[in-house]
Amino acid sequence: MKKIILASKSIDRSEILKRAKVPFETFITNINEDIYKVKISDAHNLVKELAKAKALLAKKNFLDDTLDAIIIAADTVVVLDGEIIGKAKNEEEAFNILKKLNGRTHELITGIAITETNNPKIIDDTVTTNVQFINLFDEELKLYIKNGEWKGRAGAYSIKDKASLFTKKINGSASNVIGLPMNKLFEILRKEFSFNLFQLEDSEF
């Protein structure tokens, strides 16, 4: 059976695969995202290019290897009123981001890229989910920020944790909001790589 490599350092993406009982190994990629943000202003193109860059970087690591593996990479941004919002660098930025999103509906866009170690083909796509927040007082936002969930997360929140308390509505893929659209992953693997996640044996978990 092929191995699956997740080209991401995201704990959330790892947890999604574990929850779905998908065996995988992690390869941490370090991409200078700022270079892409300067060149690409469209959110869908930006996350696709970042996901592809991560996938190809991971693939390059295994060029001289006989490993037969599928490589999965993803990148996520939040969009509000046409503004692309990424990760906060500190608590002040996290507060400013959440203040913008407070009481409103924003788009969460994830780009996903999939390739194989022994196959030149790479498939990429995007998934968009609309997320609506209730109104919080400034002090509540500050208390939320203190727990540290904003770190390393697009939009400075984690829907699987305390941000669920102020999430009013999700329209679209819930797993996408966490960072990895599982339905899109399943579709691409099945259609483009003839690999069905249902084929995985219990013994592989």
Q: Does residue 205 carry a pLDDT above 80?
A: no
Higher pLDDT pick, 64 / 71: 71
Does residue 203 fall inside a structural domain? Answer: no
Q: How confident is the model at residue 201 (pLDDT cuts 50, 70, 90)?
A: low
Domain count for the chain, please give it.
1
Diameter over CA atoms, the chain:
55
Does residue 189 fall inside a structural domain? Answer: yes
| pLDDT more than 90, % of the chain | 83
Residues sharing a CB contact under 8 Å with residue 159, sequence separation 6 or more, in sequence order? 131, 167, 170, 174, 177, 178
- Please say if 124 is a catalytic residue: no
Does residue 52 fall inside a structural domain? Answer: yes
Buried b (16+ CB within 10 A) or exposed e, 88-99: beeeebbbebbe
- Is 76 in contact with 179 (CB distance < 8 Å)? yes
- CATH number at 59 reads 3.90.950.10
pLDDT at 39: 87
Lowest mean pLDDT among 34-38, 69-73, 126-130, 159-163: 34-38
pLDDT tens digits for range 95-140:
999 999 999 999 999 999 999 998 999 999 999 999 999 999 999 9
Does residue 53 fall inside a structural domain? Answer: yes
| pLDDT more than 70, % of the chain | 97
Q: Nearest to residue 39, comparing CAs of 49, 31, 29?
A: 49
Does residue 115 fall inside a structural domain? Answer: yes
Q: How confident is the model at residue 32 (pLDDT cuts 50, 70, 90)?
A: confident
Does residue 204 fall inside a structural domain? Answer: no
Does residue 125 fall inside a structural domain? Answer: yes
Q: How confident is the model at residue 62 (pLDDT cuts 50, 70, 90)?
A: confident
> What value does the mean pLDDT take over residues 78-90?
95
Structural domain including 133 reads 3-198
Options 12, 75, 124, 125, the catalytic residue: 75
Does residue 205 fall inside a structural domain? Answer: no
Higher pLDDT pick, 62 / 70: 70
